[in-house]
Structure 1
Amino acid sequence: MKRKQPKRHHWLGKTVLSLLLLAAGGYWLWWQIGSRPIHARTYRNTNVVTVFIPGYGSNSLTFGPMVSRFQKDHATNQVTTIKISATGKRTVTGAKRYDGKNPLISVVFEDAKAPVKETRQLTALLHWLRTKHQVKRVNLVGHSMGSNLSFRYLTAQHTDAQPQVVKYISFASEFYRDPTSQLAHFPKSVQTLVIGGQIFGAKGDWAVSLAGVKRYEKELKAAGVSTSLYIYRGTPIGAYHSSLHQNPYIDAEILQFLFT
């Protein structure tokens, strides 16, 4: 004869299901509210190519979903993914031209834990865009170590043809050494937005400190660079280090800074 399952197991199962449904509903509502400003805007065509540079150990999921969202919201009509192998070979998928409305390029490094090599590969990629595709102006958007790669690129002395950097977004990043000598070479014409996250009750996004993000903005401003700061404060769903690039409020800040 089959024994009846204790009533408390049924109660526990219903409670867990209710909590999951409540969490899913809360996430949906959070996303819908955060997305409203994005859907309501009209984005101008800047004719500037925006290059997204991911962080340490990253892959196509870092910026792939973000650039797809931007395309759906009509901020762009050209999205490209460029995968760079450990040897520097480029594999291009998506748009092969960079002359549409606010073209976006999501970069994916195969060797994503080698910042010195990645900086060289980024420099070579931008040179290739300038000479082979006549890309004269770019924006750089870097997450975590991708921001540091962008900073190294911006403060290096280039001997080959490179596009002009118009805007630079650094988010979820901080300086890991004294930047004074490098900041002297940072182009003063580049407009900069620094983005950080703070989980409620924490000192940052559980990977990068809020104090470090604020110092990033402060040092750039002290060097004479036009810089603004945006801090997203919330739960780990939106404010955690690797959640910031899957956050509609961050999307809205980036789109406003780049294309409105």
Structure 2
Amino acid sequence: MAKSAKRWRRVSISVLVILLLASGGYWLWWQLGSRAIHQQTYRHTGIVTVFVPGYGSNSLTFGPMVQRFKQDKASDQVTTIHVSADGKRTITGADRYNGKNPLINVVFADAKSPQKEVRQLTGLLHWLRVQRHVTRVNLVGHSMGSNLSFNYMTTPHANLQPQVINYVSFASEFYRDPTTQIRALPKTLHILVIGGQVFGAKGDWAVSLAGVKRLAAKFKAAGLSTTLFVYTGTPVGAYHSTLHQNPYVDAEILHFLFT
């Protein structure tokens, strides 16, 4: 019994040490990644930024990111708009978008129906334009949310819509050649493409880095102002669903949109 107790004590201590080292490593990684953010001053652009999440997403996809952007003083207005399966909108936070770089986190109840989500996104942006007088927006899409944003921008609209100024696409590749659709994008659009690469892998364990680079190359070939950023690291920051919980990605998006 004494030997067994000692063995378990050693195992417990070893596990505790590993957890402490992992926690310390994560804290250091976050602090180093956040330095550029904390040293930056963000300008007031007058543009509303709309965050479009991916397949099977929820409020936690972009919720922490928009709150971090507010804490970092890039914005002073954060809103979450829940869109029900039948298109009803529930607003939490600011209902008028006249502050410093307002941020809108969109959450779709039916987050596995891309065609419906594109229609709902179109309706939401039309509502922002007509009812809230939002004339300019940025679109930030993760994974399928990037595809939704792209489909929205390349589809003709019969109703009034805001102008898209900047488009952030990350953790996304298009499996069909988007060349024809890209021609519908305005030449004034600025694009940031973000990809992840887990050490030793070909991408972020869900999307290939080659596909992300191919997408950026398509935008550039069409004459669009395009920046490519690739984060390479451990799954903690480079995995498909952790890229939006990564201070280095935060810094790239903040710099692209607000400096």
Q: Quick check: 1:259 aligned with 2:258?
A: yes
Per-residue Cα deviation, 1:27-53 (whole angstroms, up to 9, x for no partner): 000001111111111100000000000
Per-residue Cα deviation, 1:167-191 (whole angstroms, up to 9, x for no partner): 0000000012121221121221110
For 2:226, the equivalent position in structure 1 comes to 227
Which stretch of the first structure deviates more once superposed, 173-182 or 156-165? 173-182
For 2:46, the equivalent position in structure 1 comes to 47
Task: Give the letter aligned to residue 16 of structure 1.
Answer: V
Partners in 1 of 2:258 and 2:207 — Cα distance?
27
For 2:92, the equivalent position in structure 1 comes to 93
Task: Give the letter aligned to residue 109 of structure 2.
Answer: E
TM-score by length of 1: 0.98
Stretches of structure 2 that go unaligned for 5 or more consecutive residues are none
Stretches of structure 1 that go unaligned for 5 or more consecutive residues are none
Match runs of 1:46-125 below 5 Å: 46-125=45-124
Match runs of 1:171-190 below 5 Å: 171-190=170-189
Partners in 2 of 1:62 and 1:115 — Cα distance?
16
Equivalent residues, number: 258
Question: How far 1:158 sits from its partner (Å)?
Answer: 1.0
Task: Give the letter aligned to residue 176 of structure 2.
Answer: R
Match runs of 1:24-35 below 5 Å: 24-35=23-34
Give the secondary structure class of the aligned counterpart of 1:182. helix
Match runs of 1:106-145 below 5 Å: 106-145=105-144
For 2:210, the equivalent position in structure 1 comes to 211
Which stretch of the first structure deviates more once superposed, 119-128 or 7-16? 7-16
TM-score by length of 2: 0.98
Give the secondary structure class of the aligned counterpart of 2:8. helix
Task: Give the letter aligned to residue 209 of structure 2.
Answer: L
Question: How far 1:165 sits from its partner (Å)?
Answer: 0.4
For 1:38, the equivalent position in structure 2 comes to 37
Give the secondary structure class of the aligned counterpart of 1:37. helix
Partners in 2 of 1:159 and 1:175 — Cα distance?
26
For 1:194, the equivalent position in structure 2 comes to 193
Task: Give the letter aligned to residue 60 of structure 2.
Answer: L
User: For the Cα contact (< 8 Å) 1:155–1:187, is it kept in 2?
Assistant: no
Partners in 2 of 1:96 and 1:162 — Cα distance?
18
Partners in 2 of 1:159 and 1:226 — Cα distance?
27
Question: How far 1:233 sits from its partner (Å)?
Answer: 0.3
Question: How far 1:9 sits from its partner (Å)?
Answer: 1.6
Question: How far 1:6 sits from its partner (Å)?
Answer: 3.6
Give the secondary structure class of the aligned counterpart of 2:101. coil
